[in-house]
Structure 1
Amino acid sequence: MTQALSSLSLDPRKTALVMIDLQHGIVSRPIAPHSGAQVVENGKALADALRAKGGTVVWVHVLINEILALPADAPTRAPDAPPAPAIASELVPEIGAQDGDVIVAKRQWGAFYGTNLEQQLRRRGIDTIVLGGIATNFGVESTARAAFDFGFKLVFVEDATSALNDEMHRFTFEKLFRHMGHVRSTAQTIAALA
């Protein structure tokens, strides 16, 4: 059963696009249902549209060699893996980052803990976050949960987000994100910018 979408109107001055981990060491990995190139393309379209209307654009990247690594049955990075090259932690140029965009470096899955992201958003009067990136149920979901707890309104851009596999992506969007905020496409989100 398809649920009707409520109308969505975004005030660009109070809205920030937060894109997670569009960097060399992550975008090139096999992901689904959308390729890294598709996520980057849609993220750039969202950034260009929001920036043109006076909104805030935030690019978050993880410092791969400094990421929190605790003992786990299925670690995301092998404990004995050699250090990643520095470029792995750098944002890909295809996102088209501009002067005035906010760049946040993180050392864990979520973009809030241990960073100045909340302060950057609050100082700009942001009350709504448009969220996307890679991977859906790691960095994006961790960031979404913190943003929800901080009281930010959320818009999740389904085709500007992707996961390690389609099942993880679909589960997070269908069973979690639609309870936390609005789920929209890139085109629908751009159209909602008042």
Structure 2
Amino acid sequence: MANSALLVMDVQRDIVAIADDGSGYLPRLRQAIDGARAAGIPVIYVVIGLRPGDQEVSPRNKVMTNIVRAGLFTEGQPGTEIHDDVAPQQGDVVVTKRRGSAFSGSDLDLVLRARDIDSLVLTGIATSAVVLSTLWHAIDLDFGLTVLADACLDTDPEVHTMLTEKLFPQWADVFAVEDWLKVIAPQ
């Protein structure tokens, strides 16, 4: 995992408030972050942020139009900040994206290539949104992929289970945080 990075995607205050089901998601994600750091794996945060005034949202984009109407994800608003329980440390990279995939409208690919990162470990909210979109995009960019199933969260548990147990294993290694930490633990 020498050329890997852990992506912590869309774990922002408003998103956590909508999706967190009280199952211990944030502490598990914190364990993954701490374990990655201990193993020397960079942690890169990805947030969704839209410019005020919906300048970049086409009315043809149903999902993004609904998000803008709900007043979510406007840059500079408190709800767009990364949740305090998993907040970045000084020196961590935070990438802002404009759509579903962590690569869409962001400089993530540039950040990864500059660090010679060729494998990604995906975490985030929601499994059926940012994780799925980023996984597909990363496949097309030839990244090696790992998904930490219990460090991903979705508002629909059945969709989460279907993705992490049936679809994702076709293209990525899928681990529970605890099992992944055993794999990356410094010897």
What TM-score results when the alignment is normalised by the length of structure 2? 0.85
Structure 1 pair 157/76, CA: closer, same or farther in 2 (3 Å)?
farther
Question: Residue 18 of structure 1 aligns to which amino acid in structure 2?
Answer: L
Identity %: 30
Contact 1:22 1:61 in 2 (8 A): yes
Contact 1:60 1:106 in 2 (8 A): yes
Contact 1:21 1:61 in 2 (8 A): yes
Let me know the Cα RMSD of the aligned residues. Answer: 2.4
In the TM superposition, what is the alpha-carbon distance from 1:96 to its structure 2 partner? Answer: 3.5
Match of 1:180 in 2: 171
Question: After superposition, where does 1:1-194 map in structure 2 within 5 Å?
Answer: 11=1, 13-30=2-19, 35=21, 38-63=24-49, 68=57, 70-71=59-60, 77=66, 80-82=69-71, 86-193=77-184
User: Following the alignment from structure 1 to structure 2, what is the Cα–Cα distance between the partners of residues 63 and 83?
Assistant: 9
Secondary structure at the counterpart of residue 118 of structure 1: helix
In the TM superposition, what is the alpha-carbon distance from 1:51 to its structure 2 partner? Answer: 1.2
User: Following the alignment from structure 2 to structure 1, what is the Cα–Cα distance between the partners of residues 90 and 67?
Assistant: 36
User: Following the alignment from structure 2 to structure 1, what is the Cα–Cα distance between the partners of residues 4 and 34?
Assistant: 13
User: Following the alignment from structure 1 to structure 2, what is the Cα–Cα distance between the partners of residues 182 and 45?
Assistant: 19
Question: Residue 152 of structure 1 aligns to which amino acid in structure 2?
Answer: F
User: Following the alignment from structure 1 to structure 2, what is the Cα–Cα distance between the partners of residues 21 and 36?
Assistant: 17
What TM-score results when the alignment is normalised by the length of structure 1? 0.82
Structure 1 pair 89/73, CA: closer, same or farther in 2 (3 Å)?
closer
Task: Give every structure 1 segment of 4 or more consecutive aligned residues whose post-TM-superposition deviation is greater than 2 Å.
Answer: 35-40, 64-85
Unaligned runs of 5+ in 1: 1-10
Contact 2:72 2:79 in 1 (8 A): no
User: Following the alignment from structure 1 to structure 2, what is the Cα–Cα distance between the partners of residues 105 and 62?
Assistant: 6
In the TM superposition, what is the alpha-carbon distance from 1:104 to its structure 2 partner? Answer: 0.7
Question: Residue 39 of structure 1 aligns to which amino acid in structure 2?
Answer: Y
Deviations 1:34-65 (A, max 9, x none): x3773322222111111122211011111156
User: Following the alignment from structure 1 to structure 2, what is the Cα–Cα distance between the partners of residues 125 and 172?
Assistant: 28
